[in-house]
Chain A
Amino acid sequence: MLLNISTIVFAASITLFCWSCYGRFRLLLLGRPENRFNDVGKRIRGMIYYAFGQRCTVSHGYRFGWNHLVLFWSFMILLIANTEFLLEGLFPDFISFSLLPVSVYHPLAVLIEIASVLALLAVCIAMIRRLAFPPSYIEARSRDAFIILGLIALLMVAFFGLHASEIAQGSEEAASYMPISKFIASTVFSYVPSENMGGYISAFWWLHAIVLLGFLNYLPYSKHMHILTGIPNVFFRSLVKVNTQPREEFKKGNSFGVGKIDQFTWKGLIDSYSCTECGRCSDNCPATATGKLLNPRLVIHDIKVNLLKNGPLIAKKKDMVLPLIGGGEGSVSDEVLWACTTCGACMEVCPVFIEHVPRIVDMRRNLVEMNAKVPDELVSMFENMEQRSNPWGIVPGDRAKWAAEADVKPFETGKTEYLFYVGCFGAFDARSRKVSVAISRILNAAGISWGILGKDELCCGDSMRRLGNEFVFDRMALENIRIFKEKGITKIITECPHCYNTLKNDYRQYGLELEVIHHTEFISNMIKAGKLKLNAKDSGNVVFHDSCYLGRYNGIYDAPRNVIASVTGHAPIEMERRNDRSFCCGAGGGRMWMEENTGKRINVERVEEALKKDPGTICVCCPYCLTMFEDGLKAKKADARVQVLDLAEMVSGALK
């Protein structure tokens, strides 16, 4: 009778679980199509490395990732044990480990015992961490977390209780392979006569059953959904760096950007299911760190809430009740969307490869392209870009003015090898023009054939794309590509990492493969090849700042450091946050053109970090960073004692 009831309970619970999972899965199908099934071999390898190897949880110095690794692998082993438990519950007379040959059963029993102890320990550590020293970047003491941790702990207790009581009864023939259960049997249950153990066994069995079934059915409704979707999400990750945005087709009748939940691709939706709420994205986000409304974790959370709320209505073709863009839980506010610098720190540290930045830009696109809901300061900037192809609206004829101070030739088709693509800052901004002059000196010293487009150069459109103005970006890209093709330009050296990324990665979507080199790489290569002779001299404390679009976006970390070493004779001084965890200057993603009224200024935060290293010089590789650091130093009244130099200026000053 007991088993009959259990069969019914098991069958009902498992059906409910499957139904819940199906309900969640069905909502994913509302998303737009996207191919994430290419290169399956690479995807599987990545899944093994990042998910099963837990490379992603123990990375970036997150020490508690090791606790997750232990819990993950304990779970993997316990998955076998609990599958057996569930199947045994359903078909009590046919399935049991004890039916396995002894040579398999006994080692398995030992393994499961060890896994259970480790899981219990890991859960206790997780609880203690949340209670005693909760990390600032997550809602460590959420009800969700304690329910799940409690359930796991209880499951382990029931497991040991069940086995110990079976051993005490004498009905477990593999008792000697269950050292911990055996120990409990011989201590806790030593006073209970073996004929009375039956009650304990069924009590623990039921406890185990109820907790397991409860856990199973709680999963799809909690953040622990990631147990189900995390591994698939790693499989479906982007195989290349997420450094670009998808193109849009500008046809009448199309909708642009994402303003409704079903306008995301299915990958955008499964991302939201996979969030473990570990908070690493928030921990690394420059906007979150400086008190902006944006918290990348909550953006993903809001997408999930919105999907769960609107998804079933869309499936029934009813009106949606919760706007995706607006504010409040399940809705992302305009202010949040505009706060993003697209620095990519969130994506870099996400253990399940969630793509936050493209989601944010998708929604910006909706604001700009469908609703024209644009902060005032951007309206004039957009107009300037469209009419004069630079953000300030300066007369295009002035683009070549900087060249009067340097030895520069125009690019000549068929004769010139490299185009030096100066960019808007390098051409117009008084400070950055000095960098352009420095680069031209270096190019001349390296003895290569190079030239500029002068007043015919146009803006690459990076800011427009990141700000969600894809329509104008598209036109700017097409126009630039036309010019490059017409002039036979195939090799480009850029001054700005944003131009670099756009010409290299964004324009590739238009079928244009250019050899794009950032001046940092170029200088490094030339020094290595012996074509640039430098007088290495100690220049005091040089602190180096990684530009997001060079580092995280394109993996260039060593080149600038090697160059600094060549110029000064020793490696640069590193800030605490560096390389792939570098902290944005605050200007990316079009933030350069927007007011920063909320919280602390991002550039001030970064400058304070640099000042801790007592620098004489802060070396950067990007005109945005250059501006932001100089402004930040002025704000800290440190501009008299600390100078900001572009790498090219350091090199130019050391040329023999």
Chain B
Amino acid sequence: MLIVTCIKQVPDTTQVRVDPVTGTLIREGVPFIINPYDTHALEEGLRLKEKYGFRVAVISMGPPNTEITLKKAIALGADEAVLLSDRAFGGADTLATSQVLSEAIRRLGQKEEVAIVICGRQTIDGDTAQVGPGIATRLGYSQLTLVDRIESVDLKAKKIRVRRRLEGRHEIVEAKLPAMIAVVKEINSLRYPTVPMRLMAEDSKATLWDNKIMGLNENTIGLKGSATQVRKIFSPQRTSGEIIGDGIKDPKEASRLLIERLIEKRALSI
């Protein structure tokens, strides 16, 4: 039985700036990282592997350098890595992305039955949280989002029971397998790779699937297959607010001014 974890290599968004003139992202010199939510998805896959004896495959759609990220997943304990890379996949929105990913999962499923697909709840660059549900819909899998705990997996009955983290409450849900679960960061704490595994991973290779292998209709993938078009990217101008005092040079004075202002505005009272 196979667990497929979907991961994405994203620019470290805290280091990305928007060029105010052209309105595009300045990606130069910005390092790529595994989407933080996806690291938890992978971790959960590895935990299920240890508990139930699944095999873990990790897939990612992206440019060829995504292989670095996939190797990291192998160093952490993934059994197999598939890189979905083709120029035709580029510029995809969530609709087109989920098309490629679900086709890849289907192909993996031809060799070995897929029990669970695990995704992070969202990416830090797109922040849509749509790809996971998209995969579930396309594959007809049970869709379990915002999962913060996997209660149990019953392979005989083909059932999974999870806890969903909602606003102010939890929800325990049972669903049929195969299922797609999208996890929140709180689901687990990450492991660290051992050095022998890292050295092994450095020599490993991800399987490359381009569209020749995948054979998807070009109109359903990449920019062409995308329903959304990015018109403009910009940093919203701050319309209100002010910086009070100098918190670095004189934090005491800054906090005094701040309190004074809050009292003035009747946000605080003595």
Q: Which residues of A contact B (CB under 8 A)?
A: 250-252, 256, 368-372, 374, 376, 378-380, 382-383, 387-388, 395-397, 405, 430, 433, 471
A405, B199: Cβ atoms closer than 8 Å: no
A256-B196, A372-B191 given; 6 more Cβ-contact pairs under 8 Å: A250-B195, A376-B189, A379-B189, A388-B31, A395-B15, A471-B195
B194 on interface, CB distance cutoff 8 Å: yes
**Interface of chain A, main secondary structure:** helix
Q: Could you list 16 A-B pairs, sorted by A, with CB under 8 Å?
A: A250-B195, A256-B195, A368-B192, A371-B194, A372-B192, A372-B193, A372-B194, A376-B189, A379-B189, A379-B191, A380-B190, A383-B190, A387-B33, A388-B31, A395-B15, A397-B15
Nearest B residue to A433 by beta-carbon distance? B248
Chain A positions within 8 Å of B199 at CB level: 250-252
Chain A positions within 8 Å of B242 at CB level: none
Chain A positions within 8 Å of B190 at CB level: 379-380, 383
Our pick among A256, A371, A405, A471 for the contact of B249 (Cβ within 8 Å) is A405
B155 on interface, CB distance cutoff 8 Å: no
B159 on interface, CB distance cutoff 8 Å: no
Q: Mark B217-253, 1 if CB is under 8 A from A, else 0.
A: 0000000000000000000000000000000110000
B198 on interface, CB distance cutoff 8 Å: yes
Chain B positions within 8 Å of A374 at CB level: 192
B31, A387: Cβ atoms closer than 8 Å: yes
Nearest A residue to B16 by beta-carbon distance? A395
B210 on interface, CB distance cutoff 8 Å: no
B203 on interface, CB distance cutoff 8 Å: yes
Chain B positions within 8 Å of A379 at CB level: 189-192
Chain A positions within 8 Å of B196 at CB level: 252, 256, 370
Chain A positions within 8 Å of B194 at CB level: 369-372
Chain A positions within 8 Å of B193 at CB level: 372
C-alpha spacing A395/B33, complex, angstroms: 13
Nearest A residue to B247 by beta-carbon distance? A430
B12 on interface, CB distance cutoff 8 Å: yes
Our pick among B12, B192, B203, B248 for the contact of A252 (Cβ within 8 Å) is B203
A395, B192: Cβ atoms closer than 8 Å: no
B166 on interface, CB distance cutoff 8 Å: no
C-alpha spacing A368/B196, complex, angstroms: 11
B172 on interface, CB distance cutoff 8 Å: no
Nearest A residue to B39 by beta-carbon distance? A383
B200 on interface, CB distance cutoff 8 Å: yes
Nearest A residue to B15 by beta-carbon distance? A395
Q: Which residues of B contact A (CB under 8 A)?
A: 12, 14-15, 31, 33, 189-196, 198-200, 203, 248-249
Our pick among B14, B191, B195, B249 for the contact of A370 (Cβ within 8 Å) is B195
C-alpha spacing A397/B31, complex, angstroms: 12
C-alpha spacing A470/B196, complex, angstroms: 13
Nearest chain A CB to B138 CB, angstrom units: 33
A387, B15: Cβ atoms closer than 8 Å: no
Residue in B193, B195, B198 whose Cβ sees the most chain A Cβ within 10 Å: B195
Nearest B residue to A251 by beta-carbon distance? B199
C-alpha spacing A290/B139, complex, angstroms: 58
Nearest chain A CB to B254 CB, angstrom units: 12
C-alpha spacing A369/B198, complex, angstroms: 10
Nearest chain A CB to B76 CB, angstrom units: 9
Enumerate the 6 nearest inter-chain pairs by beta-carbon distance, A residue then B residue, closest first: A369-B195, A372-B192, A372-B194, A471-B195, A252-B199, A395-B15
A395, B14: Cβ atoms closer than 8 Å: yes
Nearest A residue to B32 by beta-carbon distance? A387
Nearest chain B CB to A610 CB, angstrom units: 24
Chain B positions within 8 Å of A383 at CB level: 190
A252, B15: Cβ atoms closer than 8 Å: no
C-alpha spacing A380/B12, complex, angstroms: 15
C-alpha spacing A430/B249, complex, angstroms: 9
Nearest A residue to B197 by beta-carbon distance? A372
C-alpha spacing A591/B61, complex, angstroms: 40
Chain A positions within 8 Å of B15 at CB level: 395-397
A471, B198: Cβ atoms closer than 8 Å: yes
Nearest chain A CB to B27 CB, angstrom units: 13
Nearest chain A CB to B259 CB, angstrom units: 19
C-alpha spacing A371/B196, complex, angstroms: 10
Chain A positions within 8 Å of B195 at CB level: 250, 256, 369-370, 471
C-alpha spacing A387/B68, complex, angstroms: 13
Chain A positions within 8 Å of B189 at CB level: 376, 379
Question: A252 and B249 in contact (CB under 8 A), knowing A372-B194, A376-B189, A397-B15?
Answer: no
Nearest chain B CB to A425 CB, angstrom units: 15
B12, A387: Cβ atoms closer than 8 Å: yes
Nearest chain A CB to B249 CB, angstrom units: 7
Nearest B residue to A378 by beta-carbon distance? B192
Nearest A residue to B31 by beta-carbon distance? A387
Nearest chain B CB to A384 CB, angstrom units: 11
A430, B203: Cβ atoms closer than 8 Å: no
C-alpha spacing A376/B193, complex, angstroms: 13
C-alpha spacing A376/B14, complex, angstroms: 23
Chain A positions within 8 Å of B192 at CB level: 368, 372, 374, 378-379, 382
C-alpha spacing A45/B31, complex, angstroms: 55
C-alpha spacing A396/B196, complex, angstroms: 29
C-alpha spacing A411/B218, complex, angstroms: 52
Nearest B residue to A371 by beta-carbon distance? B194
C-alpha spacing A471/B189, complex, angstroms: 22
C-alpha spacing A251/B200, complex, angstroms: 10
Nearest chain B CB to A337 CB, angstrom units: 16
C-alpha spacing A67/B12, complex, angstroms: 64
B191, A430: Cβ atoms closer than 8 Å: no
Nearest B residue to A380 by beta-carbon distance? B190
Chain B positions within 8 Å of A471 at CB level: 195, 198
C-alpha spacing A359/B15, complex, angstroms: 40
C-alpha spacing A471/B197, complex, angstroms: 12
C-alpha spacing A471/B75, complex, angstroms: 14
